[in-house]
Amino acid sequence: MIENIDLSLVDWSRGQFALTAIYHWLFVPLTLGLSLILVIMETKYVRTGSEKWKKTTKFWMKLFGINFAIGVSTGLILEFEFGTNWSNYSWFVGDIFGAPLAVEGIMAFFLESTFVAVMFFGWDKVSKRFHLASTWLVAIGANLSALWILVANAWMENPVGMVFNPDTARNEMQSFWQVLFNPVAMDKFFHTITSGFVLASFFVTGISAWFLIRNREKEMAVKSIKVAAIFGTFGSLVLIFTGDTSARTLAQVQPVKFAAMEALYEGQTDAGLTAFGILTGKDGADEDGLDEKDIIASIEIPGLLSIMTNGERDSYVAGIKDLVYGNEERGIIPVSEKIERGRLARQTLIDYREAQEMGNEAVANELGKKFGSNDFQEEYFRYFGYSYINRPADVVPDVPLIFYSFHLMVALGFLFLLLQILAWFYTARGSMENKKIFQWILLLSIPLPYLASVLGWLVTEMGRQPWIIQDLMPVGIAVSSISTSAVQTTFWLFAALFTALLIAEVSIMTRQIKIGPKIEEE
């Protein structure tokens, strides 16, 4: 796909980053949601003065602490990998990408790090209200931390608020507020944190259901299920809503990903939304490498995709073929044209740098003016990354992977809403202790939000391939100039380390759950 690239180095670098990100994300969502559930429980304790609420809060806080400590260690390694494995990327956009990460470290990480000690060890050393304030600040800090990281990630999917400097060959931030309020960032933030809320609610309801199954700590378990179920119900509703708004935004800024989510190859008006379908291959890839798929045994909701995308049933939704080969009637530029424009922008940069090196100031000044022109930036430089693409079809991600991941994630989202509503209903009626089958369902459902979360990130990251920065930089040219063997070695070291950390967390948590909250009384 990309010329003069060691593909094995690219694959191993991607694999190492994916490994680190997946392990890190096993810990983060629980931190986001459980911190707010702790806030609700401790607020109950402060308002009522009930020692039962205090005992309940301290039990869940202990599990939160175990998860929090291990999550921090994997997150630090993840950030370091941008410098070690992706130095070309860091050079190209470090001025922009590094800013929200720096804010995250200064504002959010230090906020939660400062008050987490008070939250864990200050129960008998500070007043109730100060301790509650510390718990609030830890929860706010954790979610602010997610905000800045997701702002950085969203910029990769929709680069805004920047200008390219040909003298340094770097993109420089022009508007911090455009980067912060990037529509992709706002959608991603609210959708991601609410997925953490839902995951945490299932964590609490599932473990509480285990206590009920074992006929232990019934009062605490029912109280915990009620709090988590209410929290999870509203979290699920917001999750579904933000998922809808995210899809609308993707249709505008990442249309190829959006089309792949629905395996939509032929653009159409009155486009239906596929609720269920099975993909099958056609006659193989065409001469340009596009491997079209058919949807069979599908259940489709007529017109809904057009309504979701543009608000009107008769609106046109672009298909993968439109986006690859162009559609003049709809004003869609073919990838071949984008490749030509990208190559012109790249060649202009090469000529500019050569003119500077040779001391030809007149030519350098003339070429430099182009990069200062908004027309050149919009018409040519925005397609800079296409200069590394060989075939138009190379901009299409793995459609079956995106299609199945997206639809399974959506199905799980509606299942989560149903289960949380039922849990809320049963606790409100006082019948939860008698619902043994439902208790087992809650317990066995704990892994499902983790699965949905991973599926969501598969859609996000694999859906924008081959881009590390949409339209500006393919993944293949973002890697560091290091040996493949070095990446392979650290891959297996990290795999062993993270697996050991995960086993340790599960082991420690399991032991604490088996002990239960009674240890607080002792």
Q: Is residue 203 part of a domain?
A: yes
Q: Is residue 148 part of a domain?
A: yes
Cα–Cα–Cα angle for 210, 211, 214, rounded to 5 degrees: 85
Q: Is residue 284 part of a domain?
A: no
pLDDT higher than 70, residue 286: no
Q: Is residue 336 part of a domain?
A: no
CA–CA distance from 269 to each of 261, 266, 488 (Å)? 17, 10, 48
Mean pLDDT over the full length of the chain = 87
pLDDT higher than 50, residue 238: yes
Rounded-to-10 torsion of CA 347, 352, 354, 356: -170
Question: 178 is in which domain, residue-wise?
Answer: 7-254+398-462+464-521
Q: Is residue 100 part of a domain?
A: yes
Amino acid at 491: F
pLDDT higher than 80, residue 74: no
Domain count for the chain, please give it: 1
pLDDT at 383: 92
pLDDT at 521: 43
CB 349 within 8 A of CB 390: no
d(CA 261, CA 401): 9
Q: In the predicted model, what is the mean pLDDT of residues 396-424?
A: 93
Q: What's the pLDDT band for 405 if we cut at 50, 70, 90?
A: very high
Q: In the predicted model, what is the mean pLDDT of residues 319-325?
A: 90
Q: Which residue is listed with tokens 């759950």?
A: 513
Q: Provide DSSP, 324-337.
A: HH-BGGGTBPPHHH
pLDDT at 235: 93
Rg (CA), the chain: 25
Q: Is residue 235 part of a domain?
A: yes
Q: Is residue 451 part of a domain?
A: yes
Q: What's the pLDDT band for 448 if we cut at 50, 70, 90?
A: very high
Nearest partner of 234 among 427, 29, 417, judged by Cα: 417
CA–CA distance from 332 to each of 259, 264, 288, 326, 392 (Å)? 14, 16, 18, 5, 14
d(CA 216, CA 178): 52
Burial of 49 (C-beta count, 10 Å sphere; 0-12/13-18/19+): exposed
pLDDT at 97: 85
Please name the residues in contact with 358: beta carbons below 8 A apart, sequence gap of 6 or more: none
